[in-house]
Copies of this chain bind each other. A is one copy, B any other.
């Protein structure tokens, strides 16, 4: 984890932009303190629970990066009144009007970023839709604060190879720079120009006009990121420690006590060239068995087999032996757990236990 953080920081330093890590991956104050540039942030969150937990731990500069609903504005105002500079994200005039109205009623200016759609992935205003951008900006300025523009290249998760990823990063950059230019030409301030996804953060070669990069999963990495080519297996900094509880020798199965409750049901590598099932199996020290995967998962049982089509051999693991399972998607697998047991390198000595929170409100 420390190496992953240092690697992205060095990249972004070279590109001249700041890192606003997305804290949704780890949902841990201990991890946040290590991944943020300073104890006060900046940081990105995906729920108001995250905003509240990190604000309580002293984080001050926070973007809540999921489209705001008016019913959440009282909670946003409460966190701001407690000292956090919490900004919201939106992509409609209605939301901007609600944020401006709530700001006026509270006698403060809630900062908001306009979400830009850079790749048709999910939400946001098209960067070419100048009219809507300016309408949202003006609606905000009637009481609230237009903090800037923000986008997320969600499409980069299905790209492959550094050239395709570099193109995703350039499309991401261009979309927000274009939107910021439109707003500024209309006389609106647009100080923050924010992009972010782990694949584009690791492949952008030019971030001219961008002020900050958001990324989350890079802190742990996972098999999906390895499949995209953004990391190696040995960079994956989180695993599930499981115990062998049975065999079905006729079927070539080893049963472990980690099913989808422990691994999650994320099958993000299914559509990648190498399908890692529910996770890649390593020995207890973290060295992968090249062709051993969790081929299927029930609630509390994982079924380990040699990868279908491989001529590998099932290792001779006895009941009670331990294995480590690398996750497809770190955000999903860690969400199944309430704390992290921290080890250094391949040591099995637990140096610390870091708690992890969940929930939304």
Contact = CB atoms under 8 A, between A and B. Distances in A.
A332 interface: yes
B359 A338 contact: yes
B71 A243 contact: yes
Contact of A261 (B67, B71, B335): B335
Interface string A177-221: 000000000000000000000000000000000000000000000
A315 to B, nearest CB: 17
Contacts of A266: 265
Contacts of A122: 248, 255, 298, 301, 303
A288 interface: no
Nearest to A157: B298
Contacts of A255: 67, 122-123
Contacts of A336: 335, 358
Contacts of A71: 243, 320
Q: Is the interface of A mostly helix, strand, loop or mixed?
A: loop
A70 B301 contact: no
Interface in A249-267: 255, 257, 260-262, 264-267
Contact of A246 (B92, B244, B267): B92
Nearest to A258: B360
Contacts of A106: none
Contacts of A46: 261, 299-300
A95 interface: yes
A348 to B, nearest CB: 13
Given A92-B246, A299-B24, A264 B265 contact: yes
Given A123-B248, A337-B359, 5 more contacts: A66-B300, A67-B255, A70-B319, A94-B319, A265-B332
Interface of A: 24, 46-47, 66-72, 91-92, 94-95, 98, 122-123, 154, 243-248, 255, 257, 260-262, 264-267, 298-301, 303, 318-320, 331-332, 335-338, 358-360
